[in-house]
Structure 1
Amino acid sequence: MSSRTQSRTDAELTPVKFSRLTRRGVLLGLSVSQLSTLSIGFGSIVWAFYAGGGILIAFAAPVVVLAAVLAWVPIARRPIVEWIPVAFWWMWKTTGGQLLYRRRIVAPRPVGTLALPGDMARLREYDDPATGAGMIHDPAAATLTVVLSVTHPAFVLLDPGEQERRVASWGRVLATACRSGRISMLQVLERTLPDSGTGLAEWWAAHGSRDDTWASTTYAELIDRAGPAGERHATTLSLSLDMRAAARQIRTAGGGVRGGAAVLRQEMATLVAALRSADLAPSAWLSSGQIAVILRSAYDPAVAASLERHGELGQSLATAGPVAVNESWSGLRTDSAHHAVLWISEWPRSMVYPGFLAPMLLSTGIQRSFSMLCTPMRSDQAARNIRKKKTEYISDAAQRQRIGQIEDASQTAEFNDVLQQEADLTAGHGVLRYTGLISVSAASADELDAAVAAIEQSAIQASCETRLLVGQQAQAFTAAALPLCRVV
């Protein structure tokens, strides 16, 4: 989808349309795995004919049937052959003991490392002396990530004209991420958190009348009870620098993580200026202690309110990770909660208005995290990708016409989406790849099932299609619930 947003002179909202998820294969709609499987079956039957036929053809027939079943029979709308890598990876993790994580309490951690499970154990902490921001360095992926907290008014309560203006401004914010070519990812994370009641308590302490009357006593009791039982929404933006793409600038700035931090500060200043022009209120860049509280709250939601009430607790990345993690095929169990991650596999195919995600984002009584991973593409890369897609679509259409296959309407719609992206890119707009993930948390497995069903229903109301990510819940949870610009 392009970052382009249309403007109108009236006060009406402009509907938008998302590009479809590309389902076109390498040849005639078949993926590489399907073509490889069918080639094995076809090759076996050809070998049987040339080797003498007869009994050899009978032996090759089961191979052909098996190849056809693996290539064409779907399970959960995916061919069986595409499930083989997922199943193999799951078996490898099962036999290798990778599904369980237990914190080694007595074993000290190396200085500057994060106490996180899986491949996130390689992450390193760096405190920027210039801005005070906590930066997360991934040596393997060569990225440097920083997190920013953002406050904003309720979008659904604004009038249509103001909504349209803010949508156009947000489009310009996204466009800034595509210009430098040094940004690896921009993550928008919106979380629901249990409200500790500190806001109400502070307001009552400053403005309340403590005169021991019935009204005063009742109001104070209501604040004590209602505060911790409520929930609030928190939004963060995570900016990840591609240190490979910015290698020349990093060497100029001194090299290493320190040079990467100097280059990242330039992108940070650009992003803050763009956010302020969009009437968003960015706070100071989060320190390592504030990032540690977010990580701890994601793995252990039961202590989130306590950490908020006592600001000095949980301010260390060395202890922010979970104590125990159990991964299952379709879920994840951490310290005090059960989790499940859903992938938004289909965005609305019809024209929708901004704010269409309100049924999911405003659902009450469900603890969830909504993560939007935006991967910007440089203009030259986007142009090459679009030209490649156009060539493949045209060649596939010619091949289908040659063999007499009827043109599918979905293929035509995907080709029109590519043409629209090309028009947007020609007009000077940026192109980003979007991935939407929803992490749902609950205290028990039964509550988690009910919460997932409610989120799936709200996704239907938002004209979106969601799918439960199986066999990769641990990795998906880090991308959906943690502001670290992780990928699935």
Structure 2
Amino acid sequence: MTADNTRRAHQLHPVQFSRLPKRGVMLGLSLAQFLTLAIGLLAFTTAVYLGGGILFGLTSPIWLTSVALAFLPVGGRKLIEWVPIAGRWVWRSVGGQLRFRADLVTPRPAGTLALPGDAAALREWIDPETGAAMIQDPHAQTLTAVVGITHPAFVLLDSGEQERRVAGWGRVLATVCRSGRIARVQISERTVPSSGSGLAEWWARHGVNDDSWPAVTYQELIERAGPAGERHATTISLALDVRAAARQIRAAGGGMKGAADVLRQEMTTFTAALRAADLMPTGWLTPGEVAVALRSAYDPAAAPALERHGDIGQSLATAGPVAVAESWDRLHTDSAHHAVLWIAEWPRSQVFPGFLSPLLLTSGIQRTFTLICTPVRADLAARDIRRKKVGLLSDAAQRAKIGQIEDAARTAEYNDVVQQESDLTAGHGVLRYTGLVAVSAPKIDELDAAIAAIEQAAVQAACETRRLVGQQAQAFAAAALPLCRPV
């Protein structure tokens, strides 16, 4: 290998994300827009064939409303796209589902988690071999385990080491895709208030407490700085698709025991892939550790105490919130207000792998960044890519027939599909990504300031964020809880 080739091999290569597909069923119209316009067109043509005149006035509310719903934008969406969100919100409001209060008298059913909403059906299963907590979702038919991860600061590594680690992480994701039994993978990086226990333990082991002025001053600094600091915790959740692994589960004995055996096999493979990528697993989380993570998400003020006293808050039966109040664009739990942002657009231009540094390294804000990866089977991915290609080409042909000019956005979307097909042919996996950021603060004005800071950091990372509305409770469960919940 020549010196020039060696230099190129150690260079950090930029990457580019695929654009969010915006192709509709016909001429760029979504299915909801198409059906809405069809209703309006039906009313209009009926009035024409029946003689017009006064019938135009009688039917005008129908076709004018259809046109307004299909084309009038509000908040970055067409009006028709707000209809299901607002309808579900009204339905939940009438049904009293926006508020949750823990029942302190009636005990929870054994093995269930004390969580609000549709997460109340989640159940726990303790793996007898590893001691890990496995969370069963009977509705989504998944079984989830969570592993803690330690890693060096990526931004402090040289470009060659960064490129090597990026390639290693790509092999980890390829392993997940090849399995065919993984429903979702959730990577969560959260900031939690530090209890100061780490500094205190270091001083207890290495410090010399001889009542001298330097020792007293240093001990006072540790006592003041510890609770005011923050630390970053990273977890990866692995959700087994029980339906896809039905044959293997039956071969392992069936039931929860068989599902746990199959998930344990996936855990072993995944752990080996993580170590090969120089990501050090700290162990699969036990029920007590999962309980602390859930309690800290809903009650951030209790997180330092839970960390200092490792013998409290270790029960999943009491790890949920005491009270939850959901509003249109935020969520209020025990000791904090929360809001969830959706990463609506990833960088459109080429960026280097550390592009999220402004967002992840923002200090003084309690937030959880979650990346939900949904692997797609190779045959399904190939079929979907072919369908997208045919749809894009047919749309281009229709636009050419009516004389509509082809724009750069549609050309770029077609190029993205071609690139995905090339990557799939080369043996890479296809994953669908969903990025969420859950922001927490003790007061509403502090929450608004934190959201503004996160949005500015996202701009620096070349990402576009949108605040979710009408679904904050469900989005918070997906973003802040390491349970591989769908949005």
Calculate the TM-score normalised by the size of structure 1: 0.98
- Cα offset for 1:12? 1.7
| Alignment deviations for residues 415-443 of structure 1 (CA, whole Å, 9 cap, x no partner) | 10000000000000000000000000000
Matched AA of 2:486: V
Q: Which residue of 2 is the match for residue 3 of structure 1? A: none
Q: 1:8 to 1:244 in 2, by over 3 A?
A: farther
Shift of 1:8: 7.6
Rounded to whole Å, the distance in 1 between the matches of 2:416 and 2:51 is 51
Q: Partners in 1 of 2:64 and 2:205 — Cα distance? A: 76
What residue is the counterpart of 2:118 in the other structure?
119
Q: How far apart are residue 55 of structure 1 and its match? A: 1.2
How far, CA to CA, are the matches of 2:271 and 2:235 in structure 1?
A: 13
Q: Which runs of 4+ in 1 moved over 4 A?
A: none
Give the match for residue 199 of structure 2.
Answer: 200
Q: CA deviation at 1:317?
A: 0.3
- SS of 1:329's partner is coil
- Residue 462 (structure 2) aligns with: 463
Q: Superposed, which structure 2 residues align to 1:298-337 within 5 Å?
A: 298-337=297-336
**Is 2:342 the counterpart of 1:343?**
yes
The answer for the alignment partner of 2:3 in structure 1 is none
Give the aligned residue type for 1:412: T
Taking the aligned partners of 1:434 and 1:397, their CA distance within structure 2 comes to 27
Q: Look up the match of 1:425.
A: 424
Alpha-carbon deviation of 1:65?
A: 1.4
1:15-39, CA deviations, whole angstroms, 9 ceiling, x for partnerless residues?
Answer: 0000000111110010011011100
- In structure 2, what is the equivalent of residue 280 of structure 1? 279
Alignment of 1:170-181 (within 5 A): 170-181=169-180
Name the counterpart of 1:212: 211
Please show how residues 389-408 of structure 1 align to structure 2 within 5 Å: 389-408=388-407
Cα distance per residue 1:56-87 (max 9 Å; x no partner): 12212232211111100000111001100000
- Please state whether the residue corresponding to 1:112 is helix, strand or coil: coil
1:406 Cα offset (Å): 1.1
Write the distance in 2 (CA, Å) between the matches of 1:53 and 1:366: 62
The amino acid of 1:321's aligned partner reads G
Shift of 1:9: 4.1
2:103 alignment partner in structure 1:
104
Structure 1 residues 200-279: aligned runs within 5 Å: 200-279=199-278
Gap regions ≥5 residues in structure 1: 1-6
Write the distance in 2 (CA, Å) between the matches of 1:323 and 1:371.
24
Aligned equivalent of 2:127: 128
What is the distance in 1 between the residues matched to 2:256 and 2:183? 16
AA of the residue aligned to 1:436: G
Q: Report the equivalent of 2:42.
A: 43
CA distance in 2, matches of 1:327, 1:40: 35
Matching residue's letter, 2:327: S
Sequence identity percentage: 67
Q: Report if the CA contact (8 A) 1:8-1:14 is conserved.
A: no
User: Per the alignment, in what secondary structure is the counterpart of residue 9 of structure 2?
Assistant: coil
Q: Does 1:472 align with 2:471?
A: yes
Instruction: Tell me if the contact between 1:20 and 1:347 (Cα under 8 Å) persists in the aligned partners.
Output: yes
**TM-score normalized with structure 2 length:** 0.98
* Per-residue CA distance 1:316-337 (angstroms, 9 max, x = gap): 0000000000000000000000
Per-residue deviation, 1:50: 1.7
SS at 2:247 equivalent:
helix
- Identify unmatched segments of 5+ residues in structure 2: 1-5
Which amino acid counterpart does residue 398 of structure 2 have in structure 1? Q
For residues 61 and 204 of structure 1, what CA distance do their matches in structure 2 show?
Answer: 78
| In structure 2, C-alpha distance between the alignment counterparts of 1:455 and 1:411, rounded to whole Å | 30
RMSD: 0.9
Matched to 2:207, the amino acid is: G
1:293 and 2:292 are equivalent in the alignment? yes
Q: Is the 8 A contact 1:359 1:458 kept in 2?
A: yes
Contact 1:113 / 1:124 at 8 angstroms: preserved in 2? yes
1:57 aligned residue: 56
In structure 1, what residue type is equivalent to 2:271? Answer: V
